[in-house]
Structure 1
């Protein structure tokens, strides 16, 4: 991944206000400790590693006390991970967080899209069901694409739906979390990129910030994000909860 310069002017204020309300960056290789009693159980421990900056650890008071961590302190990454391990905290595994830079948003708002990509509605249930039946199971599990999401777009080839992107409003924020699936035999032809750009443009017009997440080892997904106009903002990890 190409690192953008350390600046708070690349993305919208929505991104920085949610993830990095302070412009004061921790030193590289360290984490700043933020203790927050309002964190939900699913994010009672949360690590954020913005590009061009040190990291941020947010956690609830009980776990902070157990790990011997103090608010507003800065701690070396190796020391931090050892403290979390001794406190019995296991992390779920990082995701990349992508957002569309301000400069790219301006281009998207005036881009003309082909008639082969359009918004889907409940009237498209039959073609969407046919798409789901032929999509790989692993893609359906990972991408979380649904026809009843807040916003759904699809790309058609000879009246067949071959790529679908959908968005839902994420965790009560102004972010629209995006999933995208393109049928394997239609990949590499730009259909996924067109679908993503079309849905992002529509989300922008409706006032929501598009968010693209994928695991760091999903190289093809990360490349699609960048090809579609997104830039990497940070790596993000949360506590792993017992399945029980």
Structure 2
């Protein structure tokens, strides 16, 4: 259903340097290259087994190799027991491979265009009209790799931006529509426009949102994105 770009990226990301545990439902690997605050990651694809990769130190603390059978629920409990925590899962959504060609043929609506540093004034006004909570959740920045905006009567009412995800050719996407302008299709049209440009530049769009963000999920689905799975990390 999805491009091999998506599947190959996640398989490589969770391949690690050694397999610590594997059964029909779950694979746990060790990855000493994990950096930052991420001590481990969990991928639950809609199709296929759950993949977990851990820093070697965390794998030893959890006693992965010596604890017999594992399940995702058991690992989550052990993580809490040793004083770590799960950050909180995100949905991962992508365009089905069969939908890419029609997407590339669509004209970009006239009210949507790419933004640049010349748009700092209107972008600042846009941000000032949004809540801090919405801005944090959307993570839309004018200095990201690719930024688009949707306008209504000359006002920027919806903005989205992309940046390269984990040094790959996936382009992670965030989007925010100001509350008074939601439900008008701005988000759906912007998602498709910015994704078309990313594909032309050799990047595959990736849409992430929290599991309980129903408005964001609805926008993604309206734009034609489908759920690949969920991704979480251990802090």
After TM superposition, the score normalised by the length of structure 2 is: 0.89
- The match for 2:7 is 16
Runs of at least 5 residues in structure 2 that lack an aligned partner in the other structure: 15-21
Among candidates 220, 227, 234, match of residue 225 of structure 1: 220
Contact preservation (8 Å) 1:33, 1:74: no
The CA distance in 2 between the partners of 1:141 and 1:81, in whole Å, is: 26
CA RMSD of superposed structures (Å): 2.1
Contact preservation (8 Å) 1:155, 1:162: yes
- The match for 1:102 is 97
- The match for 2:19 is none
**SS at 1:90's partner residue?**
coil
- The match for 1:83 is 78
- The match for 1:7 is none
- The match for 1:4 is none
Q: Which runs of 4+ in 1 moved over 6 A?
A: none
**SS at 2:76's partner residue?**
helix
- The match for 2:140 is 145
Structure 1 residues 77, 125: closer, same or farther in 2, change over 3 A? Answer: closer
- The match for 1:55 is 50
Structure 1 residues 159, 61: closer, same or farther in 2, change over 3 A? Answer: same
Q: How does 1:125-204 map to 2 (within 5 A)?
A: 125-204=120-199
The CA distance in 2 between the partners of 1:193 and 1:35, in whole Å, is: 39
The CA distance in 2 between the partners of 1:26 and 1:230, in whole Å, is: 30
- The match for 1:5 is none
Contact preservation (8 Å) 1:163, 1:182: yes
The CA distance in 1 between the partners of 2:23 and 2:105, in whole Å, is: 38
Contact preservation (8 Å) 1:49, 1:236: yes
- The match for 1:118 is 113
Offset at residue 26 of structure 1 (A): 5.4
**Residue-by-residue CA offset, 1:63-106 (whole Å, 9 max, x unaligned):** 111111139x8622333233333333311111111112111211
The CA distance in 2 between the partners of 1:74 and 1:189, in whole Å, is: 50
- The match for 1:238 is 233
The CA distance in 2 between the partners of 1:132 and 1:94, in whole Å, is: 26
**SS at 1:226's partner residue?**
helix
The CA distance in 1 between the partners of 2:202 and 2:127, in whole Å, is: 29
The CA distance in 2 between the partners of 1:108 and 1:26, in whole Å, is: 39
The CA distance in 1 between the partners of 2:122 and 2:81, in whole Å, is: 52
The CA distance in 2 between the partners of 1:74 and 1:33, in whole Å, is: 11
